[in-house]
């Protein structure tokens, strides 16, 4: 930050908020004026061009709402703090913002990127006992490095292009995932309707063993002898070991004696919001699991693990399984229910052909993931260079 002078945001931008017209007054709603709330801001949205709700001119007049000009930097000030976007045209907002109308000395896209990289800092500024909020005064007093406008535009343009590269890679990744789904449907059809007439088997029929991890959570540590895998570590696109803990050798030995995941087995989430996600175990080592994960040791002479993973993760099958979990508020599958899940079982030769195709696609995915990692590293380095 020493390269450029530090200035108060309140000295280079006007901080404005909004409010909510009375919801009981019908004449205030379903008008032509966009009215944005913090819930409509996300990491994927950079410019807001439309809003979920619209208000009337009467609502604007009676509530005394100030218009946010095109190019205003939206900043959510509570629930959550620190989400940012830019208005694509004139609009209004509720009370959950401390927005910034930029003066001549600050470029709105530069300010946008500065704030987007300061989420943790902005949250640390939150005040309040019931819920955290940042006040107008707090936002006005935030210091920002301020180079000349041409350098601001150069910085914003560089970050824009880097983000576009990241977004392009993520789009490639999504397209490769869609390709796997398309190949699956082409070869096997709808796994629930089973219009191709494949033999139907239960998971108990196609597995030598179905069990789950420990029901008695052991003490776990940041470092240790054996990895401790829970539902948070399993995603549709592989293992996520960023929030990993470990258990002792003694605890692992007891857990592993009953639940022994090996390379190539299927791990199936059975508890929590991500219940129903399946993944192939790609770890060439022993590890312990929590009971939120089921272990499926497939009969490899009749079912391929790539096919089994994809049939369980198939959108239609996934929805079907979750609908039949039972209990409106329960997000859980018991081992008994998992055993009774029915899947179509095509010939192993066809499953293997599918697995070979998926393997090649996943090789491409690995390259794209590496490109995303490198691009994100570059982006973070640029953010640090410009703003820290």
The highest-confidence range among 122-136, 328-342, 367-381, by mean pLDDT, is: 367-381
**Confidence bin at 1 (pLDDT 50/70/90):** very low
Mean pLDDT of 212-218: 94
Higher confidence at residue 208 or residue 43? 208
Q: Is the peptide bond before 192 cis (omega within 30 degrees of 0)?
A: no
When pLDDT is averaged across residues 32-45 and rounded to a whole number, the result is 94
Confidence label for 327 from pLDDT (cuts 50, 70 and 90): low
How far from 116 is each of 86, 282, 333, CA to CA, in Å? 11, 35, 39
Q: Which CATH number fits domain 199-345: 3.20.190.10, 2.60.40.1180, 3.90.220.20, 3.40.50.720?
A: 3.90.220.20
Q: Which CATH superfamily is domain 6-147 in?
A: DNA methylase specificity domains (3.90.220.20)
The pLDDT, as a whole number, for residue 134 is: 96
Domain ranges of the chain: 6-147, 148-177+346-388, 199-345
More confident of the two residues 129 and 176: 176
Q: How confident is the model at residue 79 (pLDDT cuts 50, 70, 90)?
A: confident
Predicted confidence (pLDDT) per residue in 147-159, tens digit: 999 999 999 999 9
| Beta-ladder partners of 21 | none
User: pLDDT per residue over 267-311, tens digit each?
Assistant: 999 998 899 999 999 999 999 999 999 999 999 999 999 999 999
C-beta atoms surrounding 236 within 10 Å: 12
Higher pLDDT, 330 or 22: 22
- The pTM of this model reads 0.86
């Amino acid at each position: 930050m020493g390269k450029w002078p530090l200035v108060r945001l309140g000295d280079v931008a006007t901080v404005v908020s909004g409010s909510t017209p009375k919801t009981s007054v019908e004449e205030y709603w379903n008008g032509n004026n966009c009215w944005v709330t913090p819930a409509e801001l996300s990491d994927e949205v950079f410019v807001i061009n439309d809003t979920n709700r619209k208000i009337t001119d009467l609502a604007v007049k009676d509530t005394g709402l100030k218009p946010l000009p095109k190019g205003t930097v939206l900043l959510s000030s509570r629930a959550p703090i620190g989400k940012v976007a830019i208005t694509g045209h004139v609009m209004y907002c509720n009370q959950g913002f401390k927005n910034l109308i930029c003066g001549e000395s600050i470029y709105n896209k530069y300010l946008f990127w500065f704030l987007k990289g300061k989420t943790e800092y902005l949250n640390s500024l939150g005040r309040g006992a019931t819920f955290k909020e940042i006040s107008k005064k707090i936002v006005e007093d935030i210091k920002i490095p301020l180079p000349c406008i041409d350098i601001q535009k150069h910085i914003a343009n560089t970050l824009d292009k880097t983000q576009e590269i990241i977004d392009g890679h993520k789009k490639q990744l999504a397209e490769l995932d869609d390709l796997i789904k398309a190949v699956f449907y082409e070869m096997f059809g709808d796994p629930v309707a089973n219009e191709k007439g494949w033999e139907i088997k239960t998971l108990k029929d196609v597995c030598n063993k179905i069990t789950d991890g420990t029901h008695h959570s052991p003490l776990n540590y940041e470092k240790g002898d054996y990895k401790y895998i829970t539902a948070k570590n399993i995603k549709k696109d592989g293992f996520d070991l960023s929030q990993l803990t470990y258990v002792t050798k003694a605890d692992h030995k007891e857990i592993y004696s009953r639940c022994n995941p090996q390379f190539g087995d299927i791990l199936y989430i059975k508890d929590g919001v991500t219940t129903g996600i399946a993944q192939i175990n790609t770890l060439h080592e022993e590890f312990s699991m929590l009971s939120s994960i089921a272990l499926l040791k497939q009969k490899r002479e009749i079912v391929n693990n790539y096919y089994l993973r994809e049939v369980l993760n198939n959108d239609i099958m996934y929805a079907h399984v979750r609908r039949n979990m039972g209990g409106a508020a329960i997000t859980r599958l018991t081992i008994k229910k998992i055993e009774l899940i029915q899947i179509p079982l095509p010939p192993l030769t066809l499953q293997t052909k599918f697995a070979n195709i998926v393997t090649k696609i996943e090789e491409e995915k690995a390259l794209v993931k590496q490109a995303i990692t490198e691009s994100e590293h570059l982006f973070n380095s640029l953010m640090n260079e410009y703003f820290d």
